[in-house]
Each structure stands twice: as C-alpha cells, then as structure tokens.
Structure 1
Amino acid sequence: MPISRIAIGTPAEASQPDALKAALAEFISMLIFVFAGEGAGMAFNKLTDSGSTTPAGLVAASLAHAFALFVAVSVGANISGGHVNPAVTFGAFIGGHITLLRSILYWIAQCLGSIVACLLLKFATGGLETSAFSLSSGVSVWNALVFEIVMTFGLVYTVYATAIDPRKGNIGIIAPIAIGFIVGANILAGGAFDGASMNPAVSFGPAVVSWSWDSHWVYWLGPFIGAAIAALIYEVIFIGPNTHEQLPVADY
C-alpha cells in the first residue's frame, strides 16, 4: 500500500544543498507560472473591462496557464521534479516519492513564489489588483469543492501517468505538455464557476496580496483531496508493490 511507503525524512534533509536547490527551483517555477497566468488575466481585464469573465477571457486564461505551466514544469523537472503545485507535491508524498520534510520545503517555496509574482505584478502594473480566486454567483462552497477535487484529480492522475510511473520510459517533453494541457482544459471546464485553481499556491499569492480570503479554504482542501485520491488509485491499481521504485528527484 502507498501509505506504508510514506517517509517523514530527517531534519538534516532541510539543509542539504540538493534540497535547497530543489526548493529554489520550485520558487522560480512558481514565480514564472503565476506571473504569466495571473498577468494574462490582469492584461485582459485592462484591455476589455472585466474581460476575464467573458468566453474570450476564459480561453485566454486557459491558454496562458497551459503554456506557462508547460514551461514552469519543464524548467524545474531536472532539479526539483517540476511540481509547481502543493497538491502535486502532496500526491507524490502520499505515493512515497518524496519525504514530508522535503514536501514542506516545496510548499513554502511554492507559496513564496506565488506571493512574489503577485507583488511584482502589482508593482509593474502601477498598482492594479491581483484578483483572488472567488466563487461565481450561484456556486456554493460545496459545488466549488467538488470542482476542485475532480479537476485536481485529473491533474495529479496525469502527473502520475506521464511523470511518476516507473514504466513511463523516455517520453521527453510529453509530461510537461500533458500537464499543461489538462490544466488548460480544466480552466475551460471550471473557470466560470470557481476560477479553476487546482493549485493552493496559485490561490494563496493573490489572496495574500489583495488580502481577500472568502472561501479560501476550498482552494486548499479540494486540491489536496483530489491529489490524494489520484495518488492512491494510481499507486494501488496501476503501479502496485511489484512495479514501485523510489524515484530520484531528477525523474520527478
């Protein structure tokens, strides 16, 4: 069972050069991702007056996040595994592919990267608002929670299939492309309802900078539940004890 392979790690791990380099890579990848994704939404709003709520704005957000995540995962893959998402890190932890202490380092770096990206955007745009994620009219927190669980399940399942599965072989850039595509597709599906976060750090940065916390817990609980379900299903059914191997960080 995956749960039996969960590792806490040692305090010394937090000061190891490779762990610190991996955390820095996650910070930079998240900064790249949030700056491009959030910045695209801000630019569309400026050009079209709340255009992000229109069909064209949704498509623009989907493309911006898909392209930016493809790049962010690619540039971090050889150093940290290119998680660029606390939920992805949590899914890898549940499967026994990363220790808890290293996961905490990643979570801190990812959240800081998101905050710094939003601060840079606010400064570069002359003080424009970095909008926090929020629920659309008529959408309850439970509706949004289900959206976040299902969308993050699809994301982390894709990560497992293309990047973590030890039988994946040498598929090159297929993993970053697939991960970017599933996020872009999920934004088209759920963006009009709850913003389609799938990523607690992406929600955290704008919430800190704008200091808006309405229903913020949904954007943490939903992705973590979805990630855990995807990790358990893929580990138990498709990897199993006979094919599992501890993956080096360079692989994911």
Structure 2
Amino acid sequence: MTSTDRCRLPVWLSPASRRSYLAEFISTFFFVFAAVGSTISARMLTPDVTSEASSLVATALAQAFALFVSVYIASDISGGHVNPAVTFGLAVTGHISVPMALLYCIAQLLGATFACFLLWVASAGQAIPTTGIGAEMTGFGGAVVESVITFVLVYTVYEAADPRGGGSGGERRRNGERRVAASLAAALAAGACVLAAGSLTGGSMNPARSFGPAVVSGNFKNQAVYWVGPLVGAALAALLHQMVVFPSPFPAADSNSTSSVTIAV
C-alpha cells in the first residue's frame, strides 16, 4: 500500500462514507425487495404469468415506483446509485474513486441479497424468481439488450441530474428539483425498459437486481449477461455524456469524498 493509499483510507471509512454505504444498502434493499416481491406476487396470483401481459405491466410499475423512491431517499447522502452499473459509470468518468466505488457495489449487492433472503423466508420458501434470457436468445443477444436498456437508463438520468443541462432551467434549478427530476427520470426510463425487454431478458439493467435472486435461489445461469451488458451500457452512457454532450469540466469537487458523486443517479 502506497503512502497515498494510506492517506485516502480514512476517507473511505469516514462517517460520511459509512453513511453513503448504508444509504446504498437500504435503497438497493428496498428496490430489489419491491422488484422481486412484485414478481412473486404476480406469480402467486396468476401461476402462468408468462402468458399474462398484465403481470409484466405490474412488475414494470412496481420497479418504476420503487426506483423513484430508492433514488430520491439516497440522492442527498450517497448520490442514489442503487445499481453497480451506475457506480461503475461514475467511476469510469472519475466522479467517484475506485475504492469507494467497490465499497458502494458491495453495499448494493448485500442489500439485494438480503432483500431476496428476507422474501424467501417471509414467503415460506417461495421460489425466488431470477432474471433469465428468452428461450430463443443467445447470451450475446441478451447482453446487447441489457447494454442498450442500461444505456438508456443511465444516459437519461445523467441528462436530468446534470445542472449544466436543462436549457434555461439548467443551473437555476434548485438541488431539490434536480433530485426529483433525476428520480422521476430514472423511474420512467426503468419502467419503459422493463416493458420493452421484460420478456427478452427480464429487464434487469442492474447487476444487483440479478445477483441477489441468483444467490438466494442458487441459480447463476447467464449471470454474465447481467454484469457485462449493464456495465458496458452504463460506461458508454457516462462517457458519451461527459466527453461529447457536456465536454466542459464539471464543477470541482473533492475526488476523495462522497461529494464527488456529483450526479445523483
């Protein structure tokens, strides 16, 4: 460990950082609890959910509502990532340090896993539904779909949350208004993408959303699809936004603190 790393280590474990990790754990827990729980409820009400479009709509709405709340409640504390892919995109563009990004991802994965475990216990051993690709799709095709819908999600929220955008309302919008706009944008984009890709890949867009159910169910089939696709899509969205759409420098922030998460997504 270098002297620089030793100097940064206390920052990663500072009270503000620990609050950020807790916020990511709680918000991801709530999102995955609602997303997976809504799928269980739909399956219990209509056993043959694969032939019912209403179950897809219900799941999309549940995820949209849950994501809006999850992002909003954590945005002022941790940035409201609720998604390892979002954290990865911010790390790629330098808005969050790599060590802190790793700790964010650990908190998110733990939150997702605990949510699924609690659902499994509370539902008296109901099978935890995992995300999976369509029967006629390949892993590559599934990864492409996940990459595209994650790109849409992350790029939408970057545009909504960045104070440099928004035309005449850009920099004049208050922080609270940007929080609502970013949260709502994330919710609407996620709901639309679940409707578009739910029957193809489950519309995950979130490695934690797929990892938690896989751990509890013991079914890790096609897990690579739900890591490679979202990570690539999020990185492309972040790079496009920062290098092409808004190449001007972002307002300076301490890169070693939680305030470096300048775009709340």
Asked if TM exceeds 0.5, the reply is: yes
SS at match of 1:192: coil
CA contact (8 A) 2:95 2:262 kept: no
Equivalent of 1:145 in 126, 143, 146: 143
**1:203 correspondence with 2:228:** no
Structure 2, unmatched stretches of 5+, are 1-6, 254-258
Q: What secondary structure, in the 3-state scheme, does the structure 2 residue paired with 1:131 have?
A: coil
User: Residue 82 of structure 2: which of 84, 87, 102 is its match?
Assistant: 84
**Contact persistence 2:82–2:108 (CA under 8 A):** yes
Report what 2:33 is aligned to: 35
Cα deviation, residue 96, structure 1 = 1.3
| Cα distance in structure 2, aligned partners of 1:116 and 1:47 | 24
Q: Structure 1 residues 146 and 165, CA, compared in 2 at 3 Å: closer, same or farther?
A: farther
Cα pair distance change 1:16/1:146, threshold 3 Å: same
Deviation at 1:166, TM superposition (A): 4.0
- Preserved CA contact (<8 Å) 2:88 2:101: yes
From the superposition, tell whether residues 246 and 103 of structure 1 become closer, same or farther in structure 2 (CA, over 3 Å): farther
Alignment of 1:1-252 (within 5 A): 10-51=8-49, 54-167=52-165, 168-169=170-171, 170=173, 171-172=177-178, 173-240=180-247, 242-246=248-252, 248=259, 249=261, 252=264
TM (normalized to structure 2)? 0.88
Consecutive unaligned residues of structure 1, counting only runs of 5 or more, are 1-8
State the Cα distance separating 1:49 from its structure 2 match: 0.4
Query: C-alpha root-mean-square deviation of aligned residues, in Å?
Result: 1.7
Deviates more, 1:13-22 or 1:166-175: 166-175
Distance 1:87 1:246 in 2: 23
Superposition deviation, residue 54 in structure 1: 2.2
Percent identity reads: 41
More moved, 22-31 vs 133-142: 133-142
